[in-house]
Structure 1
Amino acid sequence: MKDTFPREGRERLERAEDTQALGERIGRAVEAGDVLILDGPLGAGKTTFTQGLARGMQVKGRVTSPTFVIAREHRSLVGGPSLVHVDAYRLVDAGSEDPSGALDSLDLDTELDEAVVVAEWGGGLVEQIADRYLLISFDRTTAVEEDPESEARIVEWKWVGRS
């Protein structure tokens, strides 16, 4: 990741548009070989974040949840890395004992070290294939406890592993 974005941080995001904007800022800073693991409950904003990430990376294709296809590849419109959007929960659910084999078996048209990989539900799987990754955690509980009408989420990120 380029040094234009902080290595770790925390933001309270009031609306879905704010979540996309954070994703877009990170998308402008990621580089080929970066791995992002998105952690948080169902409906916390992981796919919404990835939509912004794709916009920042300037890749083609509509970003939707990869739940039914396990992974989607979005090619760059500007000669940058592709975005590989993975539903790692489905990979684990498929029963693969070899995480690198599970990702390789997706038959993607790109080398993963030449792309940015973003994995929803990636904990416990994707970090086994990467020396380092950006862990992005989505918290909806805290904001709702403070205000039950809140749509806010608190998003924290940090690099984990060897740099």
Structure 2
Amino acid sequence: MNLPAAGTAPLWVQTLKVSTAEQTHALGAALAEVLRAGDLLVLTGELGAGKTTFTQGLGEGLGVREGIISPTFVLVRIHPNLPDGPRPGGPDLVHVDAYRLGSASEIDDIDLENTLDSSVTVVEWGRDRVEHLSESRLEVELHRSIGGAAAAQAAGGSAAPGGSATPDAEVVLDFGAEDDDEPRTIIIRGFGPRWADQPVLKQASEGTP
């Protein structure tokens, strides 16, 4: 299989705004409705950007076992599908934190290939580490309004497709550890034949998840 290179341009980019943690959760749940076994998501965002809240929404939408937290200290957590949940017989959720993994070869060492085809796999900090696992992926990038894209732009960072900013090497993204109700920008990029068509995700309105 000839997999796309890490730098391959996305087929499409969707930018959404959320105002609350509840809306971040709801957006994850909405995205879960179009996910199926074998899908790979690469999740990027500093502390407090909403990665865990978003993944909790994915888990709710997929109907997997509750208790999704950051997998930082164990690298991988598997949340099995619930027979009495909203999607009985659906895929499990495999939640990975690749922050401490320095290369694609270290990703291979944790044997994600064993669960990839039967699960939805979400990899935090997976950019430039997991692209070789699948010919298709979704990249989900979360920015807080303070310290995220806006700060990068103010510091002279370059704009990436869909309105996100790519900060220069010297820019520090000053995110707090709390996932509060600060407004966020969520950028979703689709890569590969699985995502030739863009999933329809509606903009969350103020006060409505």
Instruction: Among all aligned residue pairs of Structure 1 and Structure 2, give the percentage whose two residues are the same amino acid.
Output: 44
Aligned length: 148
Secondary structure at the counterpart of residue 111 of structure 1: helix
Q: Give the match for residue 157 of structure 1.
A: 188
Query: Radius of gyration: which is bigger?
Result: 2
TM (norm. structure 2) is 0.64
Deviation (angstroms), 1:99: 4.8
On the 8 A contact 1:143/1:154 being kept in 2, the answer is: no
Considering only aligned residues, what root-mean-square deviation do their CA atoms show, in Å? 2.4
Are the aligned partners of 2:98 and 2:107 in contact in 1 as well (CA < 8 Å)? no
Secondary structure of the residue aligned to 2:26 is helix
Higher alpha-carbon deviation: 82-91 or 50-59: 82-91
**Pairwise CA distance, 1:97:** 5.5
Q: CA 1:143/1:153 → structure 2, altered by over 3 Å: closer, same or farther? A: farther
What do the CA deviations read for 1:75-105 (whole angstroms, capped 9, x no partner)? 001111100000011333xxx651552230x
What is the distance in 1 between the residues matched to 2:43 and 2:108?
A: 21
| Moved >3 Å (runs of 4+) | 142-145
- 1:85 correspondence with 2:92: no
Classify the secondary structure of the residue corresponding to 2:138: strand
Three-state SS of the structure 2 residue aligned to 1:20 is: helix
Aligned to 1:53, the other structure's residue is in SS state helix
**Residues 124-143 of structure 1 mapped to structure 2, 5 A cutoff:** 124-140=128-144, 141-142=148-149
| Deviation sequence 1:113-135 (CA, Å, 0-9, x none) | 11000011111111121211000
Residue identity in the other structure for 1:115 = S
TM-score when scaled to structure 1? 0.81
1:103 and 2:123 are equivalent in the alignment: no
Residues of 2 paired with 1:41 and 1:158: CA distance?
18
Q: Which has the higher helix share?
A: 1
Higher strand fraction: Structure 1 or Structure 2? 1
2:104–2:130: 8 Å Cα contact kept in structure 1?
A: no
Structure 1 residues 122 and 100, CA gap change in structure 2 (3 angstroms): closer
In the alignment, which residue of structure 2 is the partner of 1:20?
25
AA aligned to 2:98 is A
Measured in 2, the distance between the counterparts of 1:10 and 1:81 equals 26
- Out of 50, 53, 60, the position equivalent to 1:48 is 53
Q: Paired residue for 1:4?
A: none
Q: Give the AA of the match of 1:43.
A: G
**How far apart are the structure 1 equivalents of 2:137 and 2:98?**
14
Per-residue Cα deviation, 1:16-47 (whole angstroms, up to 9, x for no partner): 00000000001121000000001122221111
